[in-house]
Chain A
Amino acid sequence: MNSHTEQIRAEARRLLESGEVSVVIGYAPGSTPARATPVFVRKPEDAERLFWSPACASNLALYVREQAARGKVAVVAKGCDARSIVTLIQEKQLRREDVHVIGVACSGVVDAGRLASAGVDEGKLKSLEAGGGALVADCGDGPAELQREAVLKRACLFCDTPVPPLWDVVVGEAAAPSPARDGVLPEDLDARREFWAEQFAKCVRCYACRQVCPACYCSECFTDRLPVGWVSKRIAGPENWMYHTTRAFHMAGRCVGCGECERVCPAGIPIQTLMRRMAEEVDGLFGYRAGMDPDAEPVLATYRDDDDGPAG
């Protein structure tokens, strides 16, 4: 058992024994060593169910809003997850005093769906650990180092916040980030239009991307507004495009780049590429990054007199 796991369990036990929180939202081991599943711990003795490994891919901020309505919660949060919590606080969906953040400094989590293409047989995986910046897997033949670029959630390769910007307690240390550049999008505009047309033709409109996103908390999504008809239920190229581009705009200045949308997409659409481009434009235009400062005003809910705009 690694020291991250020990520290998380100890903190959870302490919080539950003292009654400071009603639930600790964390990770439990999943079906294979490459997977983790969310767990809601309410009794101190159940803190043993919590663990930490590079398989802890989910963004648990997703559950905080609903759970915090019933009382103070604690949540295990990576850098990106904590940024989601900051966004919720900024948007008045959550009060700072209602959440206790057990921050974890993270060097990247594994996307189990990428293992097969990286030559790792998930069925034979005995263990998956991170140590000294390296990912080590044992498929029965002894430990072997995995290539990070091949198995990490793609969003982790672009990460620049390995340490949560908001925490009540933080576990571990992370190396300084060296974010890669997303080279997926073609440079030529026509090629781009073709690229997205091809990608969105794959979309099955399962809405996993929307459901897994902590920032998508509208009780009625624009896609559900059928009488208005922004996007019909039709599963077809143009409608799929409309859904994704509108959602990308709804994420402008709010997406923290956790990459869950892309990880959960069953069709393999590079949604993070879209979201990351939007985040870069927002930063370029307004000097704003989502989820870093709970007291900052949401970027599109405010303006400056000297904002860029049309002439005259």
Chain B
Amino acid sequence: MDRLLPKAALKDWLEWASARYHLLGPVESEDGSRAFAPLSQDRLPVLDNRRSCLPPKEAVLPSCETLFTFDPGDGEPRLLPAGGEFAPTLMLGMKPCDVRSLEVLDRVFLDGRFQDPYYAARRGSLVTVAYVCESKRWSCFCSSVGDPVEWSLAADVALTDVGDGYLASANTSAGEELLGCPAFREPSADDLARRDVVWNALREAAEPFDPEAVAAAVDWEEPAWDAVAEKCIGCGVCSFLCPTCTCFDIQDETIGGGRVERFRVRDTCQFCDFTKMGHGHNPRPSRRERVRQRISHKFKYIVRQCGICGCVGCGRCVELCPVNADLRGVLSEIVKENGCESISA
């Protein structure tokens, strides 16, 4: 179902939606950075191709989350699970890579024999509205790892800027409900044509890149690991800011009055003590093993385990790495080393 939303009517749509949903969208802060934050009439979203610093995983997998609290009571100990019913939430302005990242997270937390109840509760309350980027940034490589247009169509609604309005495509029943707002009108043939122009441009791969060739080429012994490990500083920027990295640690802490809180918190395989065992042994003792692990997991292991490429080409790691250890360059090296002609599909 396609509808057109005139840009001037975006405020009206958001006001209509705010009666049904808690609204989240990309807002610009004073220092020029972007973040997903609650929206209001005074705080409208900015829709463009700039990515938020913290990815949308913050909403469904918070960086710090209480799992439960233990209360000794007065001789009657109780276990109190955290959270409860989550407010229906609309997350607006998710780029195609952001939308795809939820798909990857779903495979990790919702598929298989066990569902993560904390993730499931938050994810179940979320309705997504994608914003299809009008162009790519220099660091983006979404179209190299997949089809960003197809990714956008996995959101409940996908918005494309067609000039003086947004062409909205509903892909689910929740999405169709959203387009029921009177602010929308029928799109013209022109609007649809302009949308196709944007979509085709987005699909063009900035760098030809075959994720399957990468998955096949990534190997245990690679000179590339030493080269990256030498300059990698072992911080958590790539993994904490990655929309699909999910590792967490669980800690118990006393919080006064004899009560104990169990919480889970972001962690990264790049920290030196991530795989440190109780007896002191560390199977990933140096940066070489840890760099190898992250890249192999992202492009090979998760493909085998969950049937999906872990990387969505958002480019955060490329732009934010303190030493510019450009992942795209590393993958190029690996594929070349292994004798593949080129890395084009």
Contacts and interface: CB of A to CB of B under 8 A. Distances in A.
Given A207-B235, A233-B265, A268 B326 contact: no
Interface in A86-137: 112-113, 116-117, 122-123
A208 B235 contact: yes
Interface in B225-282: 230-231, 233-237, 240-241, 249, 251, 253, 263, 265-268, 271, 273
Contact of B240 (A38, A117, A204, A226): A204
Given A116-B32, A117-B31, A212 B322 contact: yes
Nearest to A229: B253
Given A40-B230, A40-B231, A122-B138, A234 B251 contact: yes
B63 A204 contact: yes
Given A123-B138, A204-B240, A234 B324 contact: no
Contacts, number: 101
B237 A266 contact: yes
List 5 tightest A-B contacts by C-beta distance, closest first.
A123-B138, A206-B236, A264-B322, A208-B235, A117-B32
The winner among B137, B231, B251, B325 for most chain A CB atoms within 10 A is: B231
Given A122-B138, A260-B322, A235 B64 contact: yes
Interface of B: 31-33, 50, 53-54, 63-64, 137-139, 230-231, 233-237, 240-241, 249, 251, 253, 263, 265-268, 271, 273, 318-320, 322-326, 329
Contact of A266 (B138, B263, B320): B320
Contacts of A123: 137-138
B64 A206 contact: no
Interface residues of A, number: 39
22 contacts: A31-B324, A31-B329, A35-B324, A37-B324, A38-B230, A40-B231, A62-B233, A116-B50, A123-B138, A204-B240, A205-B266, A208-B235, A208-B236, A208-B237, A212-B235, A233-B267, A234-B64, A234-B253, A234-B265, A235-B266, A264-B320, A267-B53
A236 interface: yes
Given A116-B32, A267-B53, A37 B63 contact: no
A150 B330 CA distance: 31
Contact of B31 (A37, A204, A235, A268): A268
Given A117-B32, A123-B138, A267-B53, A58 B323 contact: yes
